[in-house]
Amino acid sequence: MLNYRDYLSYSEKCTQLAEEESLDKLKFLIPSILLSWIAIESFINNIMDDFGNLPEDLFELHERSLLIEKKVIFVDHGGDMGKFKLGQREYKKLEEKILFLIAKFGNLNKPYKGEILWQNFKDLRDTRNKILHPRRNIELTLTVEKAYKYLETSKNIIQFVSTNVWHKKISF
């Protein structure tokens, strides 16, 4: 099973190939950027699983809803009538998962959305969305420099979460 280190390493390799390629750099830049994003997804999802695997009563229902990506539903019939419980799969945004982890386990008592790290993360997210949801009227400008920047952003986000949740730095 691949982990975030593998994805980061593949992303880096793709960027290097793009650097060496003279004609069609895009064929390497697109996977490079997606892999940088996947590295964060892999890392965050696995942390969410670490908590999602714990006995249910260690978290509030809405927290578990985020952890195991299931919808909170109101039961209006049967034995559990009038109670809330978790229902079908409901995918949560990566951004929300990060916000939750930092708020729950980090000692960061200040907003950080305005900081460069978060702005770079949003930039990576937007580019990833443009790649994954292409439209005629959306312009996609990818460069080797951007790919390296996203790779760095991916590492920085992973480090940010690791230091706030596990209180230790990751070795890449």
Partner 1 sequence: MKILFEENAKKSEKIEELVSIFLKEVSTLETKLDVPMVIFQDGVNNSYYIKCQISARIASKIIDLNAKIKAKDPGSFRSNRELMLEHTTYLKMELDASKGREFNDLIVEYNCEYNADKFLKVWGGQHRAHAILNVISSANRYHGFKVYFDLNEKQRTEVALISNTNMGVSDDTFDKMLEETTFGDTLRELCQKVGLLGPKEDFADVGARSEKITVKIARSFIVNYYMGLDRGKTIKSGDLDKNIYEPYVTETGVLIDSKYAEVMSEKGNKILGDESLIEAGKKFIELHRTQYEKVKGNPEKIKNRKAYRNKALVISVLCGWSYIAGLLQNHRARLLNHYEIPKTTSKIPDPLNAEEMSNFKHDSDLPTYRGLGTRQSAKDLQRLAQVFLAKSLSDSCILDKRFLQKAVSTVVGLTTLKKGYA
Only one residue has tokens 């195991």, namely 68
- Is 51 a residue that touches partner 1 (CB under 8 A)? yes
Residues 135-164 that bind partner 1 (CB under 8 A): 162
Rule CB under 8 A: choose which of 40, 47, 66, 142 binds partner 1. 47
Site size toward partner 1 (CB under 8 A) is 24
- Is 53 a residue that touches partner 1 (CB under 8 A)? yes
Residue 18 makes CB contacts below 8 A (sequence gap 6+) with: 25, 26, 28, 29, 32, 144, 147
Rule CB under 8 A: choose which of 50, 96, 126, 152 binds partner 1. 50
Burial of 36 (0-12, 13-18, 19+ CB in 10 A): buried
- Is 74 a residue that touches partner 1 (CB under 8 A)? no
Question: Pairing mode, if any, of strands 70-74 and 84-89?
Answer: antiparallel
Instruction: Determine contact, residues 33/131, Cβ cutoff 8 Å.
Output: yes
Residues that bind partner 1 in the complex, under the rule CB under 8 A: 1, 3-5, 43, 46-47, 49-51, 53-55, 58, 104-105, 162, 165-168, 170-172
